[in-house]
């Protein structure tokens, strides 16, 4: 019979046996899956595991800190953080086509990760033979099927690194569904903010800015996104929605009025959706007072934003993300 305790015990024993006295590495994305996979492997082999976190500068407010501080504090994991913000911004300069952005981000990510990997391998110690991945049961099933969103947009995530032949894979979550992974994470003592985190795309806020990605635009979007998340959480709506992308229409301006002055600012789009598996989705009927609060706060608190709009499109025909 299934209990999180059993799953943890079984996996810990199996991983110990498999790895022996060798070493493993794991890429952390800030998401639930890689965090729980890493925590499980850490429990099994301790300092024989090294995690790598590539900070591409496209994360939301406080997410990098949650990985660097809270996750490390909760697990004691050995973590190598690579600050690659400048490198990503440089590579993204002048790029506004969505697929091009995804390709650039994916390519830079792999380069930075491989560099970090090489440094870890070069460190003294036993051979690094294993790569930990947070593959879930639905991923296993889906990759057999081969249809779905992956064909529409070039997806990028930490689990999607090219299979490096030098490594043997450890995939401790292969038999689990998302809610089970969350339970295992909770049992392992991971921070609530990580365990309950809603899906967030690998390319991050880079694909939530319609137009070129710049530092100023990212900072602006981070503020708007933080306000939306704060209010959704305060209203107790986190479990009712699948996720709520917040999108900056950086190439659009509209006229507004604030105080006694005319403004000419950018719109922010709220895209709250409900879904079972992200393959299809419906727009969430959020309470008007919550929407009003988010709108008021964003237009008051975020400079250069003078309009908040709500996306009322289901998927299909819209996708969840705008790019
Ligand atoms: P779409 O926009 O295709 O998104 O309806 C479906 C789900 O996938 C997430 N998403 C991604 N996740 N890497 C990821 O790990 C990606 O490149 C990526 N693109 C979209 C999206 O947030 C939604 O949950």
> Is residue 90 scored above 50 in pLDDT?
yes
What band does 165 get if pLDDT is binned at 50, 70 and 90? low
All structural domains of the chain with their residue ranges:
4-195, 208-310
Atom of ligand 1 nearest to the CA of 281: 5
The pLDDT tens digits for 98-121 are: 999 999 999 999 999 999 999 999
- Cα–ligand 1 centroid distance for 5 (angstroms): 31
What band does 217 get if pLDDT is binned at 50, 70 and 90? very high
For 152-161, 222-231, 266-275, which range has the lowest pLDDT when averaged over its residues?
A: 152-161
What CATH number has the domain spanning 208-310?
3.30.300.10
Do residues 114 and 151 make contact, with C-beta atoms less than 8 angstroms apart? no
Q: Is 254 annotated as a binding residue?
A: no
The pLDDT tens digits for 300-323 are: 999 999 999 999 999 999 999 999
Q: Is 34 annotated as a binding residue?
A: yes
User: Does the beta carbon of 155 lie inside 6 Å of ligand 1?
Assistant: yes
Q: Is 30 annotated as a binding residue?
A: yes
- Cα–ligand 1 centroid distance for 33 (angstroms): 14
User: Does the beta carbon of 98 lie inside 6 Å of ligand 1?
Assistant: no
∠ Cα 209 211 216 (to 5°): 60
User: Does the beta carbon of 243 lie inside 6 Å of ligand 1?
Assistant: yes
User: Does the beta carbon of 156 lie inside 6 Å of ligand 1?
Assistant: yes
Do residues 54 and 112 make contact, with C-beta atoms less than 8 angstroms apart? yes
Q: Is 154 annotated as a binding residue?
A: no
Three-state SS at 146? coil
- Cα–ligand 1 centroid distance for 67 (angstroms): 21
pTM of the model: 0.92
> Is residue 173 scored above 80 in pLDDT?
yes
Looking at ligand 1, which residue's alpha carbon is closest to its atom 19? Answer: 201
What is the value of ipTM here, to two decimals? 0.99
Looking at ligand 1, which residue's alpha carbon is closest to its atom 17? Answer: 155
Burial class (CB in 10 A: 0-12, 13-18, 19+), 134: buried
Residue 256 Ramachandran class (φ > 0 left, ψ -120 to 50 alpha, else beta): beta
What band does 1 get if pLDDT is binned at 50, 70 and 90? confident
The pLDDT tens digits for 30-70 are: 999 999 999 999 999 999 999 999 999 999 999 999 999 99
Q: Which of 199, 318, 221, 219 is nearest to 267 (CA)?
A: 221
User: Does the beta carbon of 278 lie inside 6 Å of ligand 1?
Assistant: yes
User: Does the beta carbon of 29 lie inside 6 Å of ligand 1?
Assistant: no
User: Does the beta carbon of 103 lie inside 6 Å of ligand 1?
Assistant: no
Q: Is 32 annotated as a binding residue?
A: yes
Tell how many helices (H) and how many strands (E) occur in the chain.
12, 12
The pLDDT, as a whole number, for residue 150 is 46
Do 4-195 and 208-310 fold alike per CATH?
Answer: no
Direct distance between the N- and C-terminal alpha carbons of the chain, in angstroms, rounded to an integer: 42
- Number of other CB atoms surrounding residue 140 within 10 Å: 13
**4-195, CATH topology level:** Rossmann fold (3.40.50)
Q: Where are the alpha helices (DSSP H) in the chain?
A: 4-19, 32-45, 63-65, 72-75, 85-92, 98-122, 137-145, 149-152, 178-187, 192-195, 215-234, 288-301
CA dihedral 20, 140, 28, 52 (to 10 degrees): 50
> Is residue 145 scored above 70 in pLDDT?
no
Contacts (Cβ under 8 Å, ≥6 apart) of 67:
28, 30, 35, 53, 79, 81, 194
């Amino acid at each position: 019979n299934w209990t999180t305790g059993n799953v943890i015990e079984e996996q810990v024993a199996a991983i110990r046996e498999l790895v022996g006295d060798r070493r493993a590495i794991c890429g952390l994305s800030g998401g639930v899956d890689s965090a729980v996979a890493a925590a499980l492997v850490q429990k099994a082999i301790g300092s024989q595991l090294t995690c790598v976190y590539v900070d591409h500068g496209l994360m939301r407010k406080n997410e990098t800190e949650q990985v660097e501080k809270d996750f490390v504090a909760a697990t004691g994991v050995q973590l190598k953080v690579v600050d690659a913000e400048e490198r990503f911004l440089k590579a993204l300069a002048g790029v506004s086509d969505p697929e091009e952005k995804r390709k650039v981000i994916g390519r830079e990510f792999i380069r930075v990760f491989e560099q970090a990997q090489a440094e870890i391998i070069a460190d003294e110690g036993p051979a690094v033979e294993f790569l930990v991945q947070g593959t879930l049961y639905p991923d296993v099933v889906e990759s057999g099927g081969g249809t779905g969103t992956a064909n529409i947009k070039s997806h990028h995530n930490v689990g999607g690194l090219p299979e490096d032949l030098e490594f043997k894979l450890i995939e401790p979550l292969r038999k689990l569904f998302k809610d089970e992974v969350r339970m295992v994470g909770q049992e392992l003592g991971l921070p609530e903010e990580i365990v309950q985190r809603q899906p967030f795309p690998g390319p991050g806020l880079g694909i939530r800015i319609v137009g070129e990605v710049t530092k100023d635009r990212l900072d602006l979007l981070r503020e708007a996104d933080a306000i939306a998340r704060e209010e959704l959480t305060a209203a107790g709506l986190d479990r009712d929605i699948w996720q709520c992308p917040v999108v900056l229409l950086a190439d659009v301006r509209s006229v507004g009025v604030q105080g006694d002055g005319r403004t000419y600012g950018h719109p922010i789009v709220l895209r709250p959706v409900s879904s079972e598996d992200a393959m299809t989705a419906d727009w969430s009927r959020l309470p008007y007072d919550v929407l009003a609060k988010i709108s008021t706060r964003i237009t008051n608190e975020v400079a250069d934003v003078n309009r908040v709009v709500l996306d009322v499109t289901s998927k299909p025909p819209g996708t969840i993300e705008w790019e």
